[in-house]
Structure 1
């Protein structure tokens, strides 16, 4: 069972993980996150990073350690992970690694409702998605190969390898789906729906979106 955490933003877990290696000020944390491409897995910006650090400090997972000044820049507060924060980080990470979690990707939402689009349009849109996926797959594969060639240990590339595997699986799925949409017999009932007819049988709630009749402009 998923535990209710005091700070549940995934960015908080990344902050705790980086602070477990050494105390840092928020600017340095942001730099490290960018250098390690954590934005591929975690959505964040400058403001959200500072907000999460304040939340972690409030619940006692990190604490102010020092204040430093670099040249003419404003003073920066250095934060360190606490013993409670280290325990939270490890327990949270153990949960995420060991227990599958139900997630709700936007593409899954789109597929659950795709029947409201004409099949030809749906196929064209999925073709565009295939091109975008192929480009992203090539970008990540090249980055992983370059990093491995530069001596980066595989353990620091595991998240990219996972992302690559997910994208490749999605590309294969979408390719098969597009092929199916271009088979007239496969989309006959779907096409008839857009010609003003009803579905031949009303699907059950678990089978997808159901309609009585629909008027198209």
Structure 2
């Protein structure tokens, strides 16, 4: 289900902060960063103001008061409205309950990898595996740090979920790269042959003729419909 009003996850993060208590914008950003939410929600101070104005426009939050400290500029403290509380709980229920189609960058890369020759793809994937492994090691050390180790699981569940996804991706990519090295990926011989012909400067129509028998019906290289 798509949100009918606001769909930016940062808006939900703002609502969740104000659900606890009234805050001013910079305090919202600081709170989210201190809680490590920028690992799962893209935080941008410039975008935050646009999100706040949108939430205010739709009646989900409102100005509670104005504060001034010393010679600093006056700041606006916002609070959540009843409509905002309803929006927050409805939105959260939807996120937890309903699977949504997402578009990870690696998925797009894998879907188009045949543009590159198999050995290069294998090498690139191994570099990715090394990066994922380093990140996982960093997160493992962070999980053992005093700042995180003592926290109840309810405050680290998104961290644990991220680690599980990264580990699954690393293991899948590593295994796939191994199969590429052994020539065991389905269709790899045709894929390799295509790049051999391209490297030899063979005409495009010859390359297409080699590929055509292996493509789904109606997806021939010469089909421009």
Question: In the alignment, is residue 79 of structure 1 matched against residue 91 of structure 2?
Answer: no
* Greater C-alpha Rg: 2
**Paired residues for 1:32-43 under 5 Å:** 32-43=31-42
Question: In the alignment, is residue 190 of structure 1 matched against residue 191 of structure 2?
Answer: yes
Q: Which moved more, 1:62-71 or 1:190-199?
A: 190-199
Match of 1:28 in 2: 27
**Alpha-carbon distance change, 60 to 185 in structure 1, aligned in 2, over 3 angstroms:** closer
**Alpha-carbon distance change, 184 to 41 in structure 1, aligned in 2, over 3 angstroms:** same
1:5 Cα deviation (Å)?
Answer: 2.6
**Paired residues for 1:11-160 under 5 Å:** 11-146=10-145, 147-149=147-149, 151-160=150-159
The C-alpha deviation readout for 1:129-173, integer Å capped at 9, x for no partner, is: 011101111222222232443x21110100000000000000010
In angstroms, what is the RMSD of aligned CA positions?
1.8
Between the aligned partners of 1:205 and 1:18, the Cα distance in structure 2 is 53
TM-score after normalising by structure 2: 0.87
**Alpha-carbon distance change, 124 to 205 in structure 1, aligned in 2, over 3 angstroms:** farther
Between the aligned partners of 1:24 and 1:171, the Cα distance in structure 2 is 40
The structure in which a higher percent of residues are helix is: 2
Between the aligned partners of 2:220 and 2:30, the Cα distance in structure 1 is 49
Between the aligned partners of 2:122 and 2:67, the Cα distance in structure 1 is 57
Between the aligned partners of 2:59 and 2:123, the Cα distance in structure 1 is 52
TM-score after normalising by structure 1: 0.90
Specify which of 202, 207, 216 is matched with residue 214 of structure 2: 202
**Alpha-carbon distance change, 204 to 70 in structure 1, aligned in 2, over 3 angstroms:** farther
* Structure 1: runs of 5+ lacking an equivalent: 213-217
1:188 Cα deviation (Å)?
Answer: 2.2
Between the aligned partners of 2:181 and 2:159, the Cα distance in structure 1 is 33
Q: Which moved more, 1:31-40 or 1:111-120?
A: 31-40
SS across alignment from 1:195: helix
